Each structure stands twice: as C-alpha cells, then as structure tokens.
Amino acid sequence: MKLLVCLSKVPDTTTKITFAEEGKRFDENGVTFILNPYDEWYALVRALELKEAHGGTVTVIHVGPSANDAVIRKGLAIGADDAVRIDATQSSSLFIAKQISAFVEAEKGYDIIFTGKETINYNRSEVGAMIAEYLDQPFISFANHLEINGSTATLDREIDGGTEVVEVETPFVVSAAKGMAEQRIPNMKGIMMANKKPIKVVPPVPFDEIAVPVFYELPPAKSGVKLIDADNIEELVRLLHEEAKVI
C-alpha cells in the first residue's frame, strides 16, 4: 500500500500569541514550532500501523520553506520512509491543497492520503476536502477509526451528535481525529535514521492567492473574575440571571 501523510508546522499549544507590525503578521519571535498534533499522533501513526500490518510505504509531505525541515525530520524519526517538501512559503488552504494534489497527480498510485482533522493554528479543517476535490476522490472527515481489507476500508467518522460507520474503496482522502491511533515517541534509532532518509524538494505549481489575511488581533481581554463567596450561591445564580443573562 502506498500511503501519503500531509504534515503541518504549527506553534506549540502553550505559545503566547502576539502579533507584529500592527497586527499584520504573527510574531514568531521565541515561538517553539511543532508538528501539528493531529497529523503526528493520529494520521501518521495510523499510516505506519497500516504499513506494518499490510506492507507498503509511508511518505510524508509538507508545503513550506527549508526552515521547516525539522518538522519533516520528526515525521521521519517516527517512522515514515521518505519525505517530500514543496518549496513555498504561502499558507492558504487552497494553495497547499493545490500543491499536494499536483504532486499526487504527477507521482500517482497513492492509496490513502491522510491529513489531521485540523491544524491547531488556523483551525480550518479544509485542506483534506480540497485535496479530495482536486483529485476527484472520496473524503472521509474526522475519522477516529480506520481498518482496511484489500482495497476496501471501513471507517468511523464523527458527525454532529454521533458517529457514522462508512465503507469506501481506495483511493481516498481521510482526516484523522483523536482515537485513530496512539501517539508514538520517536526513539534514538529513529532519530538517527531520520537524518539519513531523503527529503525530496519539489518546486510549487503556479497558483494565485485569493483569500488573504489583512490583520490579526487578540480577542478583548476578560475584565477579570468576579469571586463569589461559597456560602452565597444564590448571588451567583442572580448574577447569571440578571447580569450575564445566560440563565
């Protein structure tokens, strides 16, 4: 089986978010970047498990400049066989999806393309659907379980207020949610091996950006917590009813 896992680079969850140039760009000063947890913990690990059970290859793909090679090496250290980096700096969902699908069309033969359910910076959940549309393949979003038997896959996907069990033939695109696999910590051997595995660098295909961020800002700060005495719960209920007007 030929499996492709899309990787994103994101700021660590605990990052304090600040913006530079009057909100025109995200201030990367002092920020620790990590591999997007949904891509790493669920998508990549499930792809590796499928390879271990059924044979095949796992390739990781990333759209970004060479400064991002560290997140690709992390994917290789966890166990991917090889990597592709599309050399570009743009970050809109359509741009990324266009690049990845152009690579897949040129390379051919991927049975399953994995993404995480969303990135923890943009929270867009779009790229998987866009890749599927560009490639005219089925897309199963928010899957928390994936089994494969020959060319038929069975998946559980989260829907609003429940779960759907679906069946689909390869090739398809899937976005991975919590539950699809368990996080793997790369060992020393994996980390050493990762430095020897190839990262193929591919130039981007031309694409015009059509949705551009104009500025960023922080949400209005909370005015501070109003503490209520534990012996005066009725006051809390009164405030929720009369001041916050939520009950």
Partner 1 sequence: MVLLFAEVQQGNFKKTTLEAATYAAKTAELLGVASVAIVLGEAENAAELGLYGIQKVYQVRHDHLKNFDNQVGAIVLSAAAHQLEASVIVLSHTSNGKALAGRLAARWNAASISGATGLPTLKDGVLHVRKGMFSGKAIAEYALKSEHKVITVMGNALQPLQHGALASVETLSLEVPSPKIKIKEVKRVEGIVPLPEAELVVSAGRGLKGPENWGIVEELASALGATTACSRPVADSHWRPHHEHVGQTGVAIRPNLYIAIGISGAIQHLAGVNNSKTIVVINKDADAPFFKAADYGIVGDLFEIVPKFTAAVKKLKA
Both structure tokens of 86:
């599309």
Cβ distance to partner 1 smaller for residue 74 or 156: 156
| Choice from 106, 165, 185, 188 touching partner 1 (CB under 8 A) | 165
Of 9, 4, 86, residue with least CA distance to 46: 4
Minimum distance of partner 1 from residue 196's CB (angstroms): 32
Pick from 47, 48, 71, 140: which binds partner 1 (CB under 8 A)? 140
Asked if 218 interacts with partner 1 (CB under 8 A), we say yes
Query: 13 or 66, CB closer to partner 1?
Result: 13
The footprint of partner 1 on residues 27-56 (CB under 8 A) is: 37-38
> Does the protein bind partner 1 through residue 227 (CB under 8 A)?
yes
Phi, psi dihedrals of residue 68, rounded to the nearest 5°: -90, 5
Nearer to partner 1, 89 or 183 (CB): 183
Shortest separation between residue 32's beta carbon and partner 1, angstroms: 13
Provide the token pair at 41: 């913990």
Using the minimum distance from each CB to partner 1, give the nearer residue, 54 or 124.
124
In whole angstroms, the minimum distance from the beta carbon of 212 to partner 1 comes to 6
- Omega before 171 cis (within 30°)? yes
Distance CA 141, CA 117 (A): 7
Query: Should residue 19 be labelled a site residue for partner 1 when binding is judged by CB under 8 A?
Result: yes
Segment contacting partner 1 (CB under 8 A): 1-9, 63-71, 194-202, 221-229?
221-229
Q: Is 145 in the site for partner 1 (CB under 8 A)?
A: no
13 binds partner 1 (CB under 8 A): yes
**Of 106 and 188, which CB lies nearer to partner 1 in the complex structure?**
106
Distance of closest approach, residue 245 Cβ to partner 1, in angstroms: 9
125 vs 120: CA distance, rounded Å: 10
Q: Is residue 143 within 8 Å of 157, Cβ to Cβ?
A: yes
Exposed, middle or buried, 31 (CB in 10 Å: 0-12/13-18/19+)?
middle
Cβ closer to partner 1: 21 or 217? 217
- The minimum distance between CB 207 and partner 1, in angstroms, equals 10
What one-letter code names the amino acid at 79? Answer: G
Which of 115, 117, 147 shows the shortest CA–CA distance to 50? Answer: 147
Three-class secondary structure of residue 22 per DSSP? coil
Backbone angles phi, psi at 186, to 5 degrees: -65, 140
